[in-house]
């Protein structure tokens, strides 16, 4: 016998009302609203049709209280002005949507002054886990608060503690690819344009560049600092114009945003990028292939990093006894037109 929903007048429609209307058990209706793949397609359609007809709205907060999970994962980033982080977030969101989860995004900035307040905010909202790209010099007290909270944490691109999972690109391999590419074109004197922020990603790139140049018997790179996006590239272009007189013929940049800004400013000064001077980025963002000349860069797959971070975080929430792991993703050289032979 088909059961009919009879919600009490004036009261919100309940999941039991939906179950009755769809002629299924409440447990089956619950599986449908939680996106479980265990429900047959025909049954799912029947339940979803009943939800639409009755105007049922899933109360995720109440469900979280019953299950002791919120279904929300925190994502803490130093900023979002760099398109790299937009691609990274898209990777995270792909995994969370498939898992029926959502993210709570917070921006820390690079100075780490507000990190304590931000972490409290994440705790108060009951996030099940946290994906974090830490600001420079994140305080030890914040690390300790994360450890005490028992919150599942995965570090992305930057590392602050070996007690948390980490996912990031192979910075050392990326720098070797950039140096080998430029050296193969005849370049011998390099500049490295970094952000001026002191964190593990900067240290890893700098150390890898130094090692790669030393292996080839080349002189150390000249270090230049830019704070993006505040730095418009003109000051860097002037500095590199001066360095060219001392024999510097190529620059490896910390990221694609700096590289593209530098290319534009060099062109404004009449320096032909890829002919008079070579520039390599470090991100592999899609926008680098949309400009002319196309950017030569190290592709570190921001979407893939985002997916790997989210997958690890979901796995750790499901099993908090997982051993801490470091996941290093491969990189590749994307040869464009901003590098060329050195006569």
Q: What is the CATH number of domain 171-301?
A: 3.40.50.2300
Residues 137-177 pLDDT 10s:
787 678 888 888 788 999 999 999 999 999 999 999 999 99
Confidence of residue 237 (pLDDT cuts 50, 70, 90): confident
What does pTM read for this prediction?
Answer: 0.79
Looking at the chain, which residues constitute the CATH 1.10.260.40 domain(s)? Answer: 15-58
Write the CA distances from 181 to 231, 263, 286, integer angstroms.
Answer: 27, 18, 20
Please check the confidence at residue 244 and state whether its pLDDT lies above 50: yes
Residues 332-343 pLDDT 10s:
999 999 999 997
Write the CA distances from 217 to 180, 188, 212, 244, integer angstroms.
Answer: 12, 9, 9, 20
Please check the confidence at residue 229 and state whether its pLDDT lies above 60: no
Please check the confidence at residue 2 and state whether its pLDDT lies above 50: no
Looking at the chain, which residues constitute the CATH 3.40.50.2300 domain(s)? Answer: 70-169+303-329, 171-301
**H or E element that contains 243:** helix 234-244
Confidence of residue 228 (pLDDT cuts 50, 70, 90): low
Fold adopted by 15-58: 434 Repressor (Amino-terminal Domain) (1.10.260)
Looking at residue 233, its pLDDT comes to 64
How does DSSP assign 55-101, residue by residue? T----HHHHHHHHT--SEEEEEES-SSSHHHHHHHHHHHHHHHHTT-
The b/e string for 169-203 (b: 16+ C-beta within 10 A; e otherwise) is bbbbbbbbbbbebbbeeebbbbbbbbbbbebbbbe
Average pLDDT score, the chain: 87
Q: How far apart are CA 148 and CA 128, in angstroms?
A: 14
Fold adopted by 70-169+303-329: Rossmann fold (3.40.50)
**H or E element that contains 13:** none
Please check the confidence at residue 230 and state whether its pLDDT lies above 60: no
Confidence of residue 312 (pLDDT cuts 50, 70, 90): very high
Q: In what order do the strands lie in the sheet with 72-77?
A: 102-107, 72-77, 129-132, 152-156, 165-169, 326-329
Q: Is 195 helix (H, G, I), strand (E, B) or coil?
A: coil
The residue among 144 and 210 whose pLDDT is bigger is: 210
């Amino acid at each position: 016998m088909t059961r009919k929903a009879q919600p009490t007048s004036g009261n919100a429609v309940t999941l039991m009302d939906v179950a009755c209307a769809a002629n299924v058990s409440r447990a089956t209706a619950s599986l449908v609203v939680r996106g479980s793949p265990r429900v047959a397609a025909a049954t799912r359609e029947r339940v979803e049709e009943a939800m639409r007809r009755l105007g049922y709205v899933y109360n995720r907060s109440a469900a979280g209280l019953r299950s002791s999970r919120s279904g929300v994962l925190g994502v803490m980033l130093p900023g979002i002005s760099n398109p790299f982080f937009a691609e990274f977030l898209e990777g995270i969101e792909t995994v969370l949507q498939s898992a029926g989860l959502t993210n709570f995004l917070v921006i820390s900035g690079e100075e780490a002054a507000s990190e304590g307040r931000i972490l409290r905010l994440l705790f108060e909202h009951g996030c099940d886990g946290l994906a974090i790209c830490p600001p420079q010099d994140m305080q030890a007290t914040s690390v300790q608060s994360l450890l005490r909270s028992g919150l599942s944490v995965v570090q992305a691109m930057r590392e602050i503690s070996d007690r948390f999972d980490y996912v990031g690109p192979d910075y050392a391999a990326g720098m070797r690819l950039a140096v080998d590419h430029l050296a193969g074109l005849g370049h011998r004197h390099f500049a490295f344009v970094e952000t001026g922020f002191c964190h593990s990603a900067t240290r890893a790139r700098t150390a890898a560049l130094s090692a790669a140049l030393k292996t080839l018997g080349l002189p150390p790179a000249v270090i230049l600092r830019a704070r993006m996006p505040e730095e418009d590239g003109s000051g860097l272009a002037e500095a590199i114009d001066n360095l060219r007189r001392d024999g510097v013929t190529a620059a490896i940049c910390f990221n694609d945003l700096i590289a593209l800004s530098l290319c534009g400013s060099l062109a404004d000064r009449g320096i032909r990028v890829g002919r008079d001077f070579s520039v390599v980025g470090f991100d592999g963002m899609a926008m680098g292939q949309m400009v002319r000349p196309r950017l030569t860069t190290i592709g570190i797959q921001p979407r893939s990093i985002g997916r790997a971070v989210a997958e690890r975080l979901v796995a750790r929430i499901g099993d908090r006894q997982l051993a801490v792991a470091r996941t290093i993703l491969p990189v590749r050289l994307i040869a464009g037109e901003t590098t060329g032979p050195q006569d």
